[in-house]
C-alpha cells in the first residue's frame, strides 16, 4: 500500500523528535557523568583536607570564635542565626502578635497559591499554543505534500504528452522525408526524360542537316577530316569547349552540384529549425521568469547543467550504465558457460582424484598403524638392549683384559728377540726413540692399562703397544702356512716392496724394516708428539685414506658420552664415506688393505693388469672369539 504525504511528513517529524530525544539524553548522560566525577573529586579533596589540614587546627583560634559569633548574629534566611532569631521572637511574642503573624502567613500562602495557579494557566496556554503550532505545521506539510503530489502528477502527464508529441513529430518527419524522396525521384526522372528528349531532338536535327548537305558535296570532299566535315555539315565555326564537350562529365558535374545543394539546403533547414526552437525557448523563458537578458539565461542553464540537473545528461548517463551492465552481463554469462563446460569436462577427473585421495588416506592410515607397531617393537628392542648392556660390557672387559695380557707377553717376547738380534752398538744408539710415534707412546698415561670400563682407551693402548714393535713384524718371505692370522693387514707397503735379501740386510744392519710414517698411529689421544708426525704424513702423501682421517676426527670428538642421535649421525656419515671410497675409480691402500701375493710369493706394484686387493672385512673381526684373539697376539 503506498504511503501518503501526511504519513511521510509525520514519520519525518517523529524521526526528528527521536533524534532530538537521543541527543538530549546523550548530553544529559554526559553531564551526569561529569557531575559524578566532580563529586568524587570533591570527596577526595575533602578527605585529603580532613586528613592533612584539620589535625593541625583542632584548637579554635580567635578567628574561629569570631566566625562563630558572626554566624550566630547572622539573620539572613536559612542561616542558623535566622532560625534562632525566629525562635526567640516567637517565644517573646504576645498572642496578638502571633495572630497577626498567622494572618500574614495565610496571606502569603494565598498569594503563593495565586501565583501557582497563574503559572499553571500560563503553562496550559503555552501547551495549547504549541499544539496549535504543531497542527499548523503538520497541516502545512500535508498541503505541501499534496501540492507536490499534484505537481508530480502534472509533470508525469506532461512527460507522457511530450513523449506522444515526440512520437508524432518523428512520424511526421519520417513521412515528410519519404514524400521528399519520392518528389526528388520524380523530379530526377522527369529531368532525365527531358534531357533524353532534348538529346534525341538535337540528334534528329543534326541528322536532317547532314542528310540535306550530303547530296551536293559528296563528290568533291569525299575523304575530308571529321572536323572539316562537321564544319561543312554545320556551316559555322565550333569553339574548343564544344569540341571537348562530354555529356557524361557534364552530367556527373550536374549531379554532384545537385547533391551538394541538397545537403546545404538540408543543413540550412536544420539550422533554421534549431534557431526557431531556441527563439521559442528563450521567448517562453522570458515570459515565465521575466529575465530579458539572453546571456543571463544561458549562464543559468550552464550552471544547472554543471550541477547535473539536466534531463538529457541523466538519460545519457543512464543509457551508458545500461550498456555497460549489458556488456558485463554478456561477459559474465560467457564466463559462466565456459566454467560450466570446464566443470562438466573435469567431472570424471575430479572423481578419479577423489578416489585416489580416499585410497591415499587409507594407505596413510595403514602406514600410521604399521608405524605404531614399529614404535612398539623399537621400544621392546630398547628394553632388550638395556638388559643386554651389562652382559656385553662384562664380555668386552673380559676379552680386552685377555688381549692386554697377551699383548704384554708378546711385547716382552718381541723385546727380548729384538735385543738378541741387534748389535750392541746399534742397541746403544737406538736407546733414544727414533720416531715421533715412539715418543708419542712415552707420553701416554700409564694408568690406562688399569682401566677396564673404557673400551676406546683399551683399544688405544693395544694399538700403541703393537705400533712400538711394528719393525719386527715377520717379512714377506715367510711360507704361507707359517703366516699368522691377518698377516696381510699387518705388513705395510714399504716392507712388501723390498725383496727378501734386501729385507734381511736391513734387519742385520739394525735399521727399521718400515718407515716411521707408515706405522699405525693411535688417533684417540691428540698428543703434541703425534701432531708433527700426522702433519708430515699428510704433506708427504702417505697411504692413509681420507676415510681414516675422517674417522680420526670422529673418534677425537669422543671426549664425552654421545647421545643416540649423535651416534646415529656419525655412523651414517662413516658409512657414506665408505660407500664413496668403494665407488672410487682407483684403488687406495692403507693399513687395512693389502695387495694379494703372486704365485712365487713376491710382491710387486708394477705388475701388469689390475692389482687385486682384499680389505680386512668387518665380518671377520666380529666373528673372532677371545681364544682366537689370544692366539693372534701370541703368534
CB 517 within 8 A of CB 470: no
pLDDT one-digit tens code per residue, 90-132: 667 677 777 777 788 888 888 888 888 888 888 888 888 888 8
Model confidence at 264, in pLDDT bands (50, 70, 90)? very high
pLDDT of amino acid 412: 76
Determine the Cα angle at 286 with ends 280 and 289, to 5°.
135
Q: 367 or 477, which is more confident?
A: 367
Lowest mean pLDDT among 165-169, 177-181, 253-257, 627-631: 627-631
CB 537 within 8 A of CB 544: yes
Q: How far apart are CA 538 and CA 546, in angstroms?
A: 10
Model confidence at 257, in pLDDT bands (50, 70, 90)? very high
Supply 543's cell numbers.
697411504
Whole-angstrom Cα Rg for the chain: 67
Supply 204's cell numbers.
534528329
Q: What is the DSSP letter of 613?
A: E
Determine the Cα angle at 490 with ends 524 and 585, to 5°.
85
pLDDT one-digit tens code per residue, 563-586: 777 777 887 888 888 778 877 544
The whole-model pTM stands at 0.20
Calculate the CA dihedral of residues 357, 362, 364, 369 and round it to 10 degrees: 170
Kindly report the number of other CB atoms within 10 A of residue 457's CB atom: 20
Q: How far apart are CA 244 and CA 579, in angstroms?
A: 109
Q: How far apart are CA 132 and CA 25, in angstroms?
A: 26
3-state secondary structure of 595: strand
Task: State which of 77-81, 322-326, 529-533 shows the largest mean pLDDT.
Answer: 322-326
**Does position 542 have pLDDT exceeding 50, yes or no?**
no
Supply 579's cell numbers.
660407500
Q: How far apart are CA 182 and CA 174, in angstroms?
A: 12
- Across the chain, what does the average pLDDT equal? 69
pLDDT one-digit tens code per residue, 372-425: 888 888 888 888 887 777 777 777 778 778 877 877 777 777 667 666 655 555
Residue reference for cell 554545320: 234
pLDDT of amino acid 478: 54
C-alpha distances out from residue 597 to 56, 93, 99, 172, 488, Å: 119, 156, 158, 127, 9
Q: How far apart are CA 202 and CA 247, in angstroms?
A: 13
3-state secondary structure of 522: coil
Lowest mean pLDDT among 149-163, 322-336, 576-590: 576-590
Determine the Cα angle at 303 with ends 301 and 306, to 5°.
110
Q: 551 or 169, which is more confident?
A: 169
**Does position 325 have pLDDT exceeding 60, yes or no?**
yes
Q: Under 8 Å CB-to-CB from 283, ≥6 apart: which residues?
A: none
Q: What percent of the chain has pLDDT over 90?
A: 3
DSSP symbols for 214-249: HHHHTTT-SS--HHHHHHHHH-SPPPHHHHT--HHH
Q: How far apart are CA 141 and CA 148, in angstroms?
A: 10
3-state secondary structure of 60: coil
CB 320 within 8 A of CB 326: no
Model confidence at 500, in pLDDT bands (50, 70, 90)? low
Q: 484 or 281, which is more confident?
A: 281
Q: 14 or 309, which is more confident?
A: 14
* Closest CA relative to residue 441, chosen from 457, 459, 408, 464: 464
Model confidence at 597, in pLDDT bands (50, 70, 90)? very low
DSSP symbols for 21-38: HHHHHHHHHHHHHHHHHH
* Closest CA relative to residue 552, chosen from 523, 529, 577, 530: 523
**Does position 562 have pLDDT exceeding 60, yes or no?**
yes
Amino acid at each position: 500500500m503506498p504511503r501518503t504525504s501526511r504519513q511521510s511528513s509525520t514519520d519525518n517529524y517523529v524521526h526528528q523528535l527521536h533524534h532530538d530525544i537521543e541527543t538530549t539524553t546523550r548530553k544529559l548522560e554526559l553531564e551526569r557523568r561529569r557531575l559524578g566525577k566532580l563529586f568524587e573529586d570533591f570527596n577526595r579533596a575533602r578527605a585529603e583536607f580532613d586528613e592533612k589540614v584539620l589535625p593541625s587546627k583542632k584548637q579554635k583560634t580567635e578567628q574561629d570564635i569570631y566566625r562563630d559569633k558572626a554566624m550566630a548574629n547572622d539573620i539572613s534566611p536559612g542561616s542558623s542565626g535566622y532560625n534562632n532569631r525566629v525562635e526567640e521572637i516567637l517565644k517573646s511574642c504576645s498572642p496578638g502578635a502571633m495572630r497577626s503573624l498567622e494572618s500574614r502567613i495565610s496571606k502569603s500562602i494565598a498569594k503563593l497559591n495565586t501565583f501557582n495557579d497563574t503559572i499553571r494557566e500560563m503553562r496550559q496556554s503555552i501547551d495549547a499554543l504549541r499544539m496549535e503550532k504543531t497542527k499548523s505545521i503538520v497541516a502545512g506539510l500535508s498541503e505541501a505534500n499534496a501540492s507536490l503530489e499534484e505537481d508530480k502528477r502534472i509533470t508525469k502527464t506532461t512527460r507522457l504528452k511530450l513523449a506522444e508529441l515526440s512520437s508524432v513529430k518523428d512520424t511526421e518527419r519520417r513521412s515528410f522525408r519519404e514524400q521528399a524522396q519520392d518528389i526528388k525521384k520524380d523530379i530526377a526522372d522527369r529531368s532525365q526524360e527531358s534531357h533524353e528528349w532534348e538529346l534525341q531532338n538535337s540528334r534528329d536535327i543534326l541528322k536532317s542537316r547532314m542528310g540535306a548537305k550530303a547530296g551536293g558535296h559528296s563528290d568533291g570532299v569525299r575523304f575530308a577530316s571529321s572536323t572539316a566535315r562537321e564544319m561543312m555539315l554545320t556551316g559555322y565555326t565550333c569553339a574548343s569547349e564544344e569540341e571537348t564537350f562530354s555529356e557524361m562529365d557534364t552530367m556527373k558535374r550536374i549531379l554532384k552540384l545537385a547533391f551538394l545543394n541538397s545537403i546545404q539546403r538540408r543543413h540550412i533547414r536544420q539550422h533554421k529549425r534549431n534557431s526557431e526552437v531556441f527563439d521559442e525557448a528563450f521567448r517562453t523563458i522570458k515570459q515565465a521568469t521575466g529575465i530579458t537578458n539572453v546571456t543571463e539565461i544561458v549562464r543559468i542553464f550552464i550552471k544547472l547543467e554543471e550541477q547535473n540537473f539536466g534531463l538529457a545528461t541523466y538519460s545519457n548517463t543512464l543509457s551508458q550504465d545500461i550498456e555497460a551492465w549489458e556488456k558485463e552481463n554478456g561477459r559474465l554469462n560467457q564466463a559462466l558457460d565456459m566454467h560450466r563446460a570446464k566443470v562438466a569436462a573435469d567431472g570424471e577427473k575430479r572423481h578419479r582424484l577423489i578416489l585416489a585421495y580416499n585410497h591415499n588416506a587409507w594407505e596413510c592410515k595403514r602406514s600410521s598403524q604399521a608405524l605404531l607397531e614399529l614404535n612398539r617393537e623399537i621400544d621392546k628392542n630398547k628394553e632388550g638392549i638395556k638388559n643386554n648392556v651389562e652382559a656385553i660390557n662384562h664380555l668386552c672387559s673380559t676379552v680386552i683384559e685377555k688381549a692386554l695380557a697377551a699383548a704384554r707377553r708378546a711385547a716382552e717376547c718381541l723385546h727380548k728377540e729384538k735385543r738378541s738380534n741387534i748389535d750392541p752398538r746399534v742397541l746403544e744408539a737406538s736407546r733414544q726413540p727414533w720416531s715421533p710415534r715412539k715418543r708419542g707412546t712415552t707420553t701416554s698415561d700409564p694408568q690406562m692399562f688399569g682401566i677396564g670400563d673404557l673400551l676406546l682407551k683399551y683399544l688405544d693402548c693395544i694399538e700403541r703397544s703393537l705400533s712400538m714393535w711394528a719393525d719386527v713384524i715377520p717379512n714377506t718371505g715367510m711360507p704361507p702356512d707359517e703366516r699368522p692370522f691377518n698377516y696381510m693387514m699387518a705388513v705395510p707397503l714399504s716392507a712388501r716392496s723390498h725383496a727378501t735379501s734386501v729385507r734381511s740386510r736391513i734387519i742385520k744392519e739394525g735399521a727399521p724394516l718400515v718407515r716411521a710414517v707408515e706405522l699405525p698411529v693411535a688417533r684417540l689421544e691428540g698428543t703434541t708428539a703425534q701432531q708433527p708426525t700426522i702433519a708430515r704424513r699428510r704433506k708427504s702423501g702417505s697411504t692413509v685414506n681420507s676415510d681414516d682421517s675422517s674417522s680420526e676426527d670422529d673418534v677425537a670428538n669422543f671426549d664425552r658420552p654421545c647421545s643416540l642421535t649423535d651416534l646415529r649421525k656419525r655412523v651414517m656419515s662413516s658409512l657414506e664415506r665408505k660407500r664413496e671410497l668403494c665407488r672410487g675409480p682407483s684403488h687406495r691402500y692403507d693399513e687395512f688393505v693389502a695387495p694379494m701375493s703372486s704365485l712365487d710369493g713376491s710382491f710387486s706394484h708394477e705388475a701388469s693388469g689390475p692389482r687385486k686387493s682384499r680389505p680386512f672385512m668387518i665380518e671377520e673381526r666380529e666373528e673372532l672369539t677371545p681364544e682366537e684373539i689370544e692366539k693372534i697376539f701370541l703368534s
